[in-house]
Chains A and B, each alone.
Chain A
Amino acid sequence: MEGLEQIKARIEAAVPGAKIEILQNASPSQQHSLKIDNEHAGDVAKFLRDDPALRLDFCSNVTGVDWLDRTVKKTVKVKKVIDGEEKEVAETTEEKITGYLEAVYHLFSMTHKHGPVIIRMRTTDRAQNVCLTSLTPIWRSAEFQEREIFDLYGIRFDGHPDLRRILMWDEFEDHPMRKDYRQPDDYEYEPTPHDEVLEKAKGHYVSRPELDGAEKITTQR
């Protein structure tokens, strides 16, 4: 199968105006992916499926990712003239990246027996603009998985034929796989709580002034 750069160049030639970006994956798997923009997602997907050399006719997996707001610190060495001398000074810049939601599609070709090609789409933020283009019209297998992403992450897929919750009940309002999801406080006794569960348990402890502290000393029972 051709490389990602080549695929990117061919998409840009076939779909005018498409903004494609290659996202590097530094992990040992080296599975780099293509970030495609929301407006041209349908056309890009159609090209990936129908192009005779690619024929990515099978969408095996769709999943969501929640990215919180984060700051990236970058240290750059800059040459500066200080007191007439040229010195190398390390400058730290902070870049604030607003959080977004992401949908990841893993594509394979049954015809050519190659893959995966990984494509990603991102929303602009996590609160209001959480719409992406549904790729269910291109790959039917994405239907339930996009519903699952809608259910657990809260991404709305435009053009999805039947966008309802699939795992949680319809009346449910949260999106449990988001990183800032907090489940309702429903703690019950555990014999050996630890870590996060211990923190939760502490919130349910009743104060025992006769045992816990100063009162015990002052009252002198």
Chain B
Amino acid sequence: MSEGIDEGLRSKLQQQGVWVTSMQELYNWGRKNSIWPLQFGLACCAIEMIATAASRYDIARFGGEVFRPSPRQADLMIVAGTVTKKMAPQIVRLYNQMADPKYVIAMGACAISGGPFKEGYNVLKGIDRYIPVDVYIPGCPPRPEALLHAFMELQRKIDEQKLNGANKAAHLDPDQPSEFPVPAFGKRDLEPPANSNVFHPPAIERV
């Protein structure tokens, strides 16, 4: 992974007890093994999230056991459950209050798309309408193993983030937004119903 050093030489040096690394590798290694999730649940998915944090599945093995009750101290938002339209502004506000770098896991069918309540009048059709989502887990609810898998995917994603260059991570790019507009309560629906800068649904195609 470290640039500017030959992999073979690196492994030779390692055999001799010399460990060569790069700043980026060290930085990402530290971050990915200490992801502090925000402690909140919205519906039944939260029960699975609690099970994941408890001893049987033990998210501590991946460095994510420190659930923080304050968004100021959290790195990861696990949107675990149905996001109602009444709750959506608060979720976006919590996301805005989190410090960069921050990540979002949309856990379960409801958080992804509204799930079984998609055609209902009171449920948001997916949290990705307002905030960027890093990992989606399908399931109703997903099993703790699925959440752990999503956690590992997120770790892989963090590991691949660049510290500089054109493809550097979003939180290091001052042009990338880290806060997103909070939707307002409208007369018939949330206003706007989706943030077009974040939400890019697939176009409707006919066969």
Contact = CB atoms under 8 A, between A and B. Distances in A.
Interface string A132-167: 000000000000000000000000000000000001
Interface string B178-205: 0000000111110001000000011110
B201 A189 contact: yes
Chain A binding surface, main DSSP class: loop
A6 interface: no
B125 A173 contact: no
Contact of A204 (B86, B119, B122, B204): B204
A168 B203 contact: no
A183 B121 contact: yes
A167 B87 CA distance: 11
Interface residues of A, number: 22
Contacts of A176: 121-122
A168 B185 CA distance: 10
A184 B122 contact: no
Taking chain B's interface residues, is the majority helix, strand, or loop, or is none over half, making it mixed? loop
B189 A186 contact: yes
A171 B204 contact: no
A149 to B, nearest CB: 16
B188 A173 contact: yes
- Among B86, B185, B204, the one with the most A-chain Cβ atoms within 10 Å of its Cβ is B204
B206 interface: yes
Contacts of A210: none
Nearest to A197: B119
A174 B202 CA distance: 30
A189 B204 contact: yes
Interface string B109-121: 0000000000101
A172 B119 contact: no
B189 A205 contact: no
Nearest to A200: B119
B120 to A, nearest CB: 8
Contacts of A204: 204
**Among the interface residues A170, A189, A201, which one has the most CB atoms of the partner chain B within 10 A?**
A189
Interface of A: 167-174, 176, 181, 183-184, 186, 188-189, 196-197, 201, 204-206, 208
14 contacts: A169-B85, A169-B185, A170-B185, A171-B187, A172-B187, A173-B187, A174-B188, A176-B122, A183-B188, A184-B189, A188-B201, A189-B204, A205-B204, A205-B206
